[in-house]
A and B are shown apart, each in its own frame.
Chain A
């Protein structure tokens, strides 16, 4: 219905097949979404290959960038989880770089934002949720169930607190995935809508243009911020799994 409209704000999220593929009757075609996933990891790999090509004590710009991102995530993980989090660093680092580049590539006009699709963010969130739950039970045994009953709560409040804690625990992957996806979806839709206004208003289009520039700056901030929030929340959940007493 709206696909014919050139300024349909939802059009940018549509998935189109590039190469058809099927495995056991399931459609796994290479789509524009897959292409931009490849772009995101290619951008990450390029950054690190360039940054690590000439490793020296005094870093050049690209090495500085890769070391900054490394230190940023390493410090985040150390602050939130402590030394026990070291084992999960490759995952957290990859997660941040992937979401960061997906968000940023999506800001370029005529591109596709991988993270604007709930299934992608929910795949991450669900994986994190499952992993955190498994880690929690592996490290603490049944003692992990303590997170549903925080210490210092009188026993008669337990029937009230425990269901609330269970619901909040189960809603973690939903809130985590929806937060990222909705931010990307809403931000990019609004950008598209205002870009459409510029075209529609013709000469008067400079007013939405100014707004669009401001909005674009805000979206750039949000792209970085949402990648950061997703990563730091993962760290916090991981910390809850490793130290359920807090």
Chain B
């Protein structure tokens, strides 16, 4: 409805202008005498603008925008590459750290084991030595004991002999005395 009203508003003065044969009647929009000039200059200016846009503006703008897009995607690619490289390096570092700690643990445990072994060996050796020393000294003690016992016996017998010889003529033999002593 609005649309037809609009057309009516435009057509009414046009028809009136025709009827009266006047140029200036009604809206300037309806002055048919200006139409060729307007159309002519519209064609010229718009064609100029179209050619300018088509040949000058659009190729340059589209290449600039494309270049920017390429640059941005390249930069993003580079950043992604660097990022993956960095994460690779980090992984490498972690791996190395892990292996190093494993190695050091191994070294610590192996050195502990060798130390223990050494200590055990030392202990055993010392024990053996001590034991042999103990048995030797025991033997020595035993020997000395026996020797001193015999010496004591002999001395006793000698003493007894000398005592007895003072009181009795017939001195008993050593065997007899030792039998009596035991």
Chain A residue, CB-CB nearest to B9: A182
Cross-chain contact of B45 among A31, A40, A185 (Cβ < 8 A): A40
> Within the complex, which residue of A1, A116, A182 is in contact with B6, where a contact is CB–CB below 8 Å?
A182
Binds A, one of B56-64, B106-114, B117-125, B171-179: B56-64
Partner of B37, one of A3, A27, A93, A94: A27
CB closest residue in chain A, given B62:
A70
Min CB distance, B56 to chain A, in Å? Answer: 7
Q: Does B36 contact A (CB under 8 A)?
A: yes
With A45-B52, A89-B58 known to touch, is A33 a contact of B29 (CB < 8 Å)?
Answer: no
Give Cα A129–Cα B144 distance, bound, in whole angstroms: 142
- B37: chain A residues within 8 A (beta carbon): 15, 21, 27-31, 33-34
Give A83 Cβ to nearest chain B Cβ, in Å: 14
Interface residues in B69-102 (C-beta closer than 8 Å to A): 71
Question: Is the pair B57, A66 in contact by a Cβ cutoff of 8 Å?
Answer: yes
In the assembly, what is the distance between CA of A140 and CA of B46, in Å?
A: 29
- Does B31 contact A15, Cβ atoms closer than 8 Å? yes
Closest chain-B Cβ to A92's Cβ sits at a distance in Å of 10
A55 to B58, CA, bound (A): 13
- Please encode chain B, from 157 to 181, with 1 for each CB lying within 8 Å of some chain A CB and 0 for all others: 0000000000000000000000000
Q: State the main secondary structure of chain B at its contact with A.
A: helix
- Closest approach, in angstroms, between the C-beta of B43 and any C-beta of chain A? 8
In the complex, the chain B residue whose C-beta lies closest to that of A20 is B37
A114 to B46, CA, bound (A): 12
Q: For the complex, is B115 an interface residue (Cβ under 8 Å from A)?
A: no
The 23 sampled A-B contact pairs (Cβ below 8 Å) are A1-B24, A15-B34, A28-B40, A29-B37, A31-B34, A33-B34, A34-B37, A37-B41, A44-B49, A48-B53, A66-B61, A70-B61, A70-B65, A71-B65, A90-B50, A91-B50, A93-B53, A94-B53, A97-B49, A118-B10, A171-B3, A178-B3, A178-B7
Q: Report which of A33, A52, A63, A182 forms a contact with B41, defined as CB distance below 8 A.
A: A33
Nearest chain B CB to A88's CB is how many angstroms away?
Answer: 11
Contacts of B53 in A (CB 8 A): 48, 90, 93-94, 97
Residues of A within 8 A of B (CB): 1, 3, 10, 13-15, 21, 23, 26-31, 33-34, 37-38, 40-41, 44-45, 48, 52, 55, 57, 59, 63, 66-67, 70-71, 89-91, 93-94, 97-98, 114, 116-120, 123, 171, 174-175, 178, 181-182, 185
B13 to chain A, nearest CB (A): 11
* Chain B residues positioned under 8 Å from A29 (CB to CB): 37
Evaluate whether A117 and B38 lie within 8 angstroms (CB atoms) in the complex, with A15-B28, A52-B57, A182-B6 already known: yes
Known: A52-B61, A67-B65. A34 touches B38 (CB 8 A): yes
Residue B182 lies at the interface, judged by CB distance under 8 Å to chain A: no
Query: Is B54 in contact with chain A by the CB < 8 A criterion?
Result: yes
A118–B29 alpha-carbon span in the complex (Å): 6
Report the bound CA distance from A57 to B68 in whole Å. Answer: 5
CB pair B57 A48 closer than 8 Å: yes
Q: Which among B45, B53, B65 has the highest number of chain A CB atoms within 10 Å?
A: B53
The 3 lowest CB-CB distance pairs between A and B, nearest first, are A34-B41, A90-B54, A37-B45
Residue in B7, B46, B49 whose beta carbon sits within 8 Å of that of A45 in the complex: B49
Among residues of A, the one whose C-beta sits closest to the C-beta of B68 is A57
